[in-house]
Homo-oligomer: A and B are copies of this chain.
Protein backbone atom coordinates (compact mmCIF):
# COMPACT_ATOMS: atom_id res chain seq x y z
CA UNK A 1 0.00 0.00 0.00
CA UNK A 2 1.22 3.38 -0.93
CA UNK A 3 1.54 5.92 1.84
CA UNK A 4 1.55 9.67 1.95
CA UNK A 5 5.31 9.62 1.88
CA UNK A 6 5.25 7.82 -1.42
CA UNK A 7 2.93 10.45 -2.75
CA UNK A 8 5.05 13.36 -1.68
CA UNK A 9 8.16 11.82 -3.13
CA UNK A 10 6.44 11.20 -6.41
CA UNK A 11 4.83 14.63 -6.52
CA UNK A 12 7.92 16.37 -5.22
CA UNK A 13 6.08 18.18 -2.45
CA UNK A 14 6.02 17.97 1.29
CA UNK A 15 3.82 15.63 3.21
CA UNK A 16 1.83 18.52 4.64
CA UNK A 17 0.87 19.58 1.17
CA UNK A 18 -0.38 16.14 0.38
CA UNK A 19 -2.46 16.14 3.51
CA UNK A 20 -3.83 19.54 2.62
CA UNK A 21 -5.02 18.44 -0.78
CA UNK A 22 -6.52 15.23 0.49
CA UNK A 23 -8.44 16.93 3.24
CA UNK A 24 -8.94 20.23 1.49
CA UNK A 25 -7.80 21.68 4.77
CA UNK A 26 -5.68 24.50 3.39
CA UNK A 27 -5.13 26.36 0.17
CA UNK A 28 -2.74 24.64 -2.19
CA UNK A 29 -1.71 26.16 -5.49
CA UNK A 30 -3.42 24.56 -8.48
CA UNK A 31 -0.10 23.41 -9.85
CA UNK A 32 0.85 21.46 -6.78
CA UNK A 33 -2.64 20.17 -6.27
CA UNK A 34 -2.56 18.83 -9.80
CA UNK A 35 0.72 17.07 -9.21
CA UNK A 36 -0.45 15.57 -5.98
CA UNK A 37 -3.67 14.27 -7.47
CA UNK A 38 -1.76 12.79 -10.32
CA UNK A 39 0.53 10.92 -7.96
CA UNK A 40 -2.46 9.67 -6.00
CA UNK A 41 -4.00 8.34 -9.18
CA UNK A 42 -0.85 6.71 -10.36
CA UNK A 43 -0.14 4.95 -7.13
CA UNK A 44 -3.78 4.10 -6.53
CA UNK A 45 -3.34 5.67 -3.13
CA UNK A 46 -6.04 5.48 -0.46
CA UNK A 47 -5.54 7.24 2.86
CA UNK A 48 -5.05 4.97 5.83
CA UNK A 49 -8.04 5.55 8.05
CA UNK A 50 -6.42 3.78 10.97
CA UNK A 51 -3.57 6.25 11.12
CA UNK A 52 -5.96 9.11 10.71
CA UNK A 53 -8.17 7.78 13.46
CA UNK A 54 -5.29 7.48 15.83
CA UNK A 55 -4.41 11.06 15.27
CA UNK A 56 -7.89 12.47 15.21
CA UNK A 57 -9.29 10.30 17.94
CA UNK A 58 -12.29 9.46 15.90
CA UNK A 59 -12.83 6.34 13.88
CA UNK A 60 -15.97 7.28 12.04
CA UNK A 61 -17.51 4.02 12.92
CA UNK A 62 -20.67 3.22 14.80
CA UNK A 63 -21.51 -0.10 16.38
CA UNK A 64 -25.01 -1.46 16.59
CA UNK A 65 -25.99 -4.15 19.05
CA UNK A 66 -29.02 -6.25 18.34
CA UNK A 67 -30.17 -9.48 19.97
CA UNK A 68 -31.41 -11.36 16.96
CA UNK A 69 -30.76 -10.35 13.43
CA UNK A 70 -32.95 -13.16 12.15
CA UNK A 71 -36.03 -11.54 13.59
CA UNK A 72 -37.35 -9.66 10.56
CA UNK A 73 -37.97 -6.65 12.71
CA UNK A 74 -34.29 -5.81 12.67
CA UNK A 75 -33.00 -6.01 9.12
CA UNK A 76 -35.25 -3.13 8.18
CA UNK A 77 -34.04 -1.08 11.11
CA UNK A 78 -30.49 -1.93 10.19
CA UNK A 79 -31.02 -0.79 6.66
CA UNK A 80 -32.16 2.56 8.03
CA UNK A 81 -29.02 2.79 10.12
CA UNK A 82 -26.73 1.74 7.34
CA UNK A 83 -28.24 4.18 4.86
CA UNK A 84 -27.51 7.19 7.02
CA UNK A 85 -24.16 5.90 8.22
CA UNK A 86 -23.15 5.49 4.62
CA UNK A 87 -24.25 9.01 3.74
CA UNK A 88 -22.21 10.43 6.59
CA UNK A 89 -19.15 8.42 5.59
CA UNK A 90 -19.39 6.30 8.70
CA UNK A 91 -19.08 2.60 8.76
CA UNK A 92 -21.08 0.27 10.73
CA UNK A 93 -20.13 -2.65 12.95
CA UNK A 94 -22.90 -5.12 13.52
CA UNK A 95 -23.04 -7.08 16.74
CA UNK A 96 -25.55 -9.86 17.13
CA UNK A 97 -25.67 -10.96 20.75
CA UNK A 98 -28.06 -13.88 20.26
CA UNK A 99 -29.40 -12.74 23.60
CA UNK A 100 -26.32 -13.94 25.41
CA UNK A 101 -25.36 -11.56 28.22
CA UNK A 102 -21.72 -12.52 28.27
CA UNK A 103 -21.52 -12.04 24.56
CA UNK A 104 -23.09 -8.63 25.09
CA UNK A 105 -20.35 -7.73 27.56
CA UNK A 106 -17.65 -8.90 25.24
CA UNK A 107 -19.03 -6.90 22.37
CA UNK A 108 -19.03 -3.84 24.55
CA UNK A 109 -15.36 -4.34 25.34
CA UNK A 110 -14.54 -4.95 21.72
CA UNK A 111 -16.35 -1.79 20.78
CA UNK A 112 -14.46 0.43 23.17
CA UNK A 113 -11.17 -1.13 22.16
CA UNK A 114 -11.96 -0.50 18.54
CA UNK A 115 -12.72 3.08 19.51
CA UNK A 116 -16.13 3.24 17.92
CA UNK A 117 -17.49 6.75 18.00
CA UNK A 118 -20.92 5.69 19.12
CA UNK A 119 -23.31 2.94 19.89
CA UNK A 120 -26.84 2.03 18.88
CA UNK A 121 -28.75 -0.45 21.01
CA UNK A 122 -32.08 -1.94 20.09
CA UNK A 123 -32.67 -4.29 23.00
CA UNK A 124 -31.76 -2.73 26.31
CA UNK A 125 -34.37 -3.68 28.86
CA UNK A 126 -32.68 -3.51 32.25
CA UNK A 127 -30.86 -0.97 34.35
CA UNK A 128 -27.92 -3.36 34.57
CA UNK A 129 -27.48 -3.54 30.86
CA UNK A 130 -27.76 0.21 30.66
CA UNK A 131 -25.14 0.60 33.38
CA UNK A 132 -22.73 -1.48 31.34
CA UNK A 133 -23.36 0.70 28.34
CA UNK A 134 -22.82 3.84 30.39
CA UNK A 135 -19.57 2.45 31.70
CA UNK A 136 -18.10 2.41 28.21
CA UNK A 137 -18.24 6.19 28.18
CA UNK A 138 -19.41 6.08 24.59
CA UNK A 139 -22.15 8.18 23.16
CA UNK A 140 -25.14 6.02 22.49
CA UNK A 141 -28.80 6.01 21.67
CA UNK A 142 -31.32 3.36 22.46
CA UNK A 143 -33.99 2.40 20.06
CA UNK A 144 -37.04 0.21 20.20
CA UNK A 145 -36.71 -1.15 23.74
CA UNK A 146 -35.64 0.77 26.81
CA UNK A 147 -35.29 0.20 30.54
CA UNK A 148 -37.99 1.49 32.89
CA UNK A 149 -37.83 5.22 33.54
CA UNK A 150 -35.11 5.74 30.95
CA UNK A 151 -35.05 9.37 29.92
CA UNK A 152 -32.04 9.89 27.67
CA UNK A 153 -31.59 9.62 23.93
CA UNK A 154 -34.10 7.23 22.49
CA UNK A 155 -36.08 6.57 19.39
CA UNK A 156 -39.02 4.27 19.30
CA UNK A 157 -42.63 4.10 18.41
CA UNK A 158 -45.74 4.78 20.38
CA UNK A 159 -46.37 1.20 21.40
CA UNK A 160 -49.34 2.03 23.54
CA UNK A 161 -51.00 3.49 20.52
CA UNK A 162 -50.44 0.29 18.54
CA UNK A 163 -52.84 -1.67 20.69
CA UNK A 164 -55.23 1.22 21.16
CA UNK A 165 -55.48 1.45 17.40
CA UNK A 166 -56.05 -2.29 17.22
CA UNK A 167 -58.84 -2.24 19.75
CA UNK A 168 -60.44 0.74 18.14
CA UNK A 169 -60.44 -1.08 14.83
CA UNK A 170 -61.80 -4.25 16.37
CA UNK A 171 -64.49 -2.32 18.22
CA UNK A 172 -65.50 -0.49 15.07
CA UNK A 173 -66.12 -3.86 13.49
CA UNK A 174 -68.43 -4.74 16.35
CA UNK A 175 -66.19 -7.08 18.34
CA UNK A 176 -66.54 -6.73 22.10
CA UNK A 177 -65.23 -9.94 23.48
CA UNK A 178 -61.51 -9.60 22.87
CA UNK A 179 -58.62 -11.78 23.99
CA UNK A 180 -55.10 -10.43 24.38
CA UNK A 181 -51.91 -12.38 23.76
CA UNK A 182 -49.22 -10.35 25.44
CA UNK A 183 -45.47 -10.23 24.91
CA UNK A 184 -42.94 -10.61 27.70
CA UNK A 185 -43.69 -7.87 30.22
CA UNK A 186 -40.01 -7.56 31.09
CA UNK A 187 -39.72 -5.78 27.74
CA UNK A 188 -40.78 -2.17 27.53
CA UNK A 189 -42.55 -2.49 24.21
CA UNK A 190 -44.61 -5.41 25.50
CA UNK A 191 -45.55 -3.48 28.64
CA UNK A 192 -46.63 -0.51 26.60
CA UNK A 193 -48.68 -2.59 24.21
CA UNK A 194 -50.35 -4.28 27.16
CA UNK A 195 -51.22 -0.93 28.67
CA UNK A 196 -52.53 0.19 25.32
CA UNK A 197 -54.74 -2.83 25.20
CA UNK A 198 -56.23 -2.04 28.57
CA UNK A 199 -56.71 1.65 27.92
CA UNK A 200 -58.03 0.89 24.46
CA UNK A 201 -60.64 -1.44 25.88
CA UNK A 202 -61.54 1.17 28.40
CA UNK A 203 -61.86 3.88 25.79
CA UNK A 204 -64.20 1.71 23.80
CA UNK A 205 -66.31 0.99 26.85
CA UNK A 206 -65.23 -2.64 26.80
CA UNK A 207 -63.98 -4.57 29.77
CA UNK A 208 -60.99 -6.84 29.77
CA UNK A 209 -61.74 -10.39 30.72
CA UNK A 210 -58.83 -11.77 32.74
CA UNK A 211 -59.56 -15.26 31.51
CA UNK A 212 -58.85 -14.01 28.02
CA UNK A 213 -55.40 -12.55 28.54
CA UNK A 214 -52.37 -14.75 28.03
CA UNK A 215 -48.87 -13.66 28.86
CA UNK A 216 -46.17 -15.08 26.65
CA UNK A 217 -43.56 -13.54 24.40
CA UNK A 218 -43.33 -12.26 20.83
CA UNK A 219 -42.74 -15.63 19.17
CA UNK A 220 -44.76 -17.79 16.83
CA UNK A 221 -44.62 -20.57 19.35
CA UNK A 222 -46.05 -18.38 22.05
CA UNK A 223 -49.06 -17.48 19.91
CA UNK A 224 -49.57 -21.10 19.05
CA UNK A 225 -49.48 -22.22 22.66
CA UNK A 226 -51.64 -19.42 23.98
CA UNK A 227 -54.25 -20.38 21.45
CA UNK A 228 -54.14 -24.03 22.43
CA UNK A 229 -54.58 -22.97 26.02
CA UNK A 230 -57.39 -20.65 25.11
CA UNK A 231 -59.08 -23.43 23.22
CA UNK A 232 -58.97 -25.89 26.09
CA UNK A 233 -59.51 -23.53 29.01
CA UNK A 234 -62.40 -21.54 27.77
CA UNK A 235 -65.75 -22.92 26.81
CA UNK A 236 -66.65 -20.17 24.41
CA UNK A 237 -64.43 -18.64 21.76
CA UNK A 238 -63.88 -14.88 22.07
CA UNK A 239 -64.89 -12.79 19.09
CA UNK A 240 -61.40 -11.55 18.44
CA UNK A 241 -57.77 -11.99 19.41
CA UNK A 242 -55.43 -9.06 19.68
CA UNK A 243 -51.84 -10.30 19.41
CA UNK A 244 -48.78 -8.46 20.66
CA UNK A 245 -46.85 -9.22 17.49
CA UNK A 246 -47.47 -10.56 14.02
CA UNK A 247 -45.54 -13.70 14.83
CA UNK A 248 -47.85 -14.33 17.76
CA UNK A 249 -50.78 -13.83 15.42
CA UNK A 250 -49.24 -16.29 12.94
CA UNK A 251 -48.97 -18.87 15.69
CA UNK A 252 -52.55 -18.26 16.72
CA UNK A 253 -53.80 -18.64 13.18
CA UNK A 254 -51.97 -21.91 12.83
CA UNK A 255 -53.50 -23.32 16.01
CA UNK A 256 -56.93 -22.03 15.11
CA UNK A 257 -56.84 -23.62 11.70
CA UNK A 258 -55.74 -26.90 13.17
CA UNK A 259 -58.99 -26.83 15.11
CA UNK A 260 -60.96 -26.01 12.02
CA UNK A 261 -61.74 -22.50 13.19
CA UNK A 262 -62.09 -20.04 10.36
CA UNK A 263 -60.63 -16.57 10.21
CA UNK A 264 -62.26 -14.12 10.14
CA UNK A 265 -65.61 -15.91 9.98
CA UNK A 266 -65.34 -17.56 13.39
CA UNK A 267 -62.85 -15.29 15.02
CA UNK A 268 -61.03 -12.11 14.10
CA UNK A 269 -57.32 -11.74 14.62
CA UNK A 270 -55.20 -8.66 14.78
CA UNK A 271 -51.41 -8.61 14.60
CA UNK A 272 -48.89 -5.98 15.61
CA UNK A 273 -45.73 -4.79 13.83
CA UNK A 274 -46.49 -5.57 10.20
CA UNK A 275 -44.11 -8.38 9.47
CA UNK A 276 -43.04 -8.51 5.80
CA UNK A 277 -44.94 -11.74 5.35
CA UNK A 278 -48.21 -10.63 6.89
CA UNK A 279 -49.52 -9.29 3.66
CA UNK A 280 -49.35 -12.68 2.05
CA UNK A 281 -50.03 -14.83 5.02
CA UNK A 282 -52.65 -17.59 5.03
CA UNK A 283 -55.15 -14.93 5.70
CA UNK A 284 -53.74 -11.49 5.00
CA UNK A 285 -53.21 -10.15 8.47
CA UNK A 286 -54.66 -6.90 9.70
CA UNK A 287 -52.02 -5.35 11.84
CA UNK A 288 -50.31 -2.16 12.90
CA UNK A 289 -47.33 -0.98 10.95
CA UNK A 290 -44.21 0.16 12.78
CA UNK A 291 -41.89 2.55 10.96
CA UNK A 292 -38.86 0.32 11.45
CA UNK A 293 -36.75 1.86 8.75
CA UNK A 294 -37.33 5.33 10.17
CA UNK A 295 -36.51 4.12 13.62
CA UNK A 296 -33.11 2.92 12.52
CA UNK A 297 -32.57 5.98 10.40
CA UNK A 298 -33.49 8.49 13.05
CA UNK A 299 -31.58 6.71 15.76
CA UNK A 300 -28.47 6.87 13.62
CA UNK A 301 -29.12 10.50 12.78
CA UNK A 302 -29.58 11.40 16.40
CA UNK A 303 -26.38 9.65 17.34
CA UNK A 304 -24.38 11.19 14.52
CA UNK A 305 -25.65 14.65 15.38
CA UNK A 306 -24.57 14.10 18.94
CA UNK A 307 -21.15 12.98 17.79
CA UNK A 308 -20.52 15.67 15.21
CA UNK A 309 -21.55 18.62 17.35
CA UNK A 310 -19.12 19.63 20.01
CA UNK A 311 -21.54 20.97 22.59
CA UNK A 312 -23.34 18.61 24.84
CA UNK A 313 -26.81 18.19 23.41
CA UNK A 314 -29.94 17.96 25.43
CA UNK A 315 -31.24 14.39 25.56
CA UNK A 316 -33.98 13.74 23.08
CA UNK A 317 -36.65 11.09 22.85
CA UNK A 318 -38.26 10.58 19.51
CA UNK A 319 -41.50 8.69 19.38
CA UNK A 320 -42.80 7.69 15.98
CA UNK A 321 -46.44 6.92 15.18
CA UNK A 322 -47.65 3.47 14.23
CA UNK A 323 -50.40 3.11 11.68
CA UNK A 324 -53.27 0.75 11.21
CA UNK A 325 -53.09 -1.69 8.31
CA UNK A 326 -56.41 -3.23 7.48
CA UNK A 327 -56.32 -6.49 5.60
CA UNK A 328 -58.57 -9.52 5.88
CA UNK A 329 -58.04 -11.17 9.21
CA UNK A 330 -60.63 -9.15 11.07
CA UNK A 331 -63.27 -9.21 8.41
CA UNK A 332 -65.11 -6.17 7.15
CA UNK A 333 -68.03 -4.23 8.45
CA UNK A 334 -71.23 -5.61 6.97
CA UNK A 335 -72.73 -2.31 5.87
Interface residues of A in 250-291 (CB under 8 A from B): 250-251, 254, 276-277, 280-282
State whether B78 touches A94 (Cβ < 8 A).
yes
Q: Say whether B79 contacts A91, CB under 8 Å.
A: no
A69 to B94, CA, bound (A): 12
Give the contact stretch, choosing among A6-14, A110-118, A183-191, A307-315. Answer: A110-118
Number of copies: 2
Interface string of A100-115 (1 = CB under 8 A from B): 0001001101111111
A70 to B89, CA, bound (A): 22
Measured between beta carbons, the chain B residues less than 8 angstroms from A115 are 48-50
Cβ of A79: which chain B residues have Cβ within 8 Å of it? 69-70, 96, 98
Q: Which residues of B contact A49 (CB under 8 A)?
A: 113-115
A283: nearest residue on chain B (CB-CB)? B282
In the assembled complex, A131 has its CB within 8 A of some CB on chain B: no
**Chain A positions 43-68 with a Cβ under 8 Å from a chain B Cβ:** 44, 46-51, 53-54, 59, 61, 63
Known: A94-B92, A250-B280, A280-B254. A109 touches B46 (CB 8 A): yes
Q: Which chain A residues have a beta carbon within 8 Å of chain B's beta carbons?
A: 1, 44, 46-51, 53-54, 59, 61, 63, 69-70, 72, 74-76, 78-79, 82-83, 86, 89, 91-96, 98, 103, 106-107, 109-115, 135, 137, 220, 250-251, 254, 276-277, 280-282
What are 20 pairs between A and B in contact, CB < 8 Å? A50-B50, A50-B53, A51-B54, A54-B54, A69-B75, A69-B82, A70-B72, A70-B75, A70-B76, A70-B79, A72-B276, A74-B75, A78-B96, A82-B95, A91-B95, A91-B111, A92-B94, A93-B93, A220-B280, A281-B282
Given contacts A48-B54, A69-B75, 5 further A-B pairs with CB under 8 A are: A48-B115, A61-B93, A70-B76, A86-B103, A91-B93
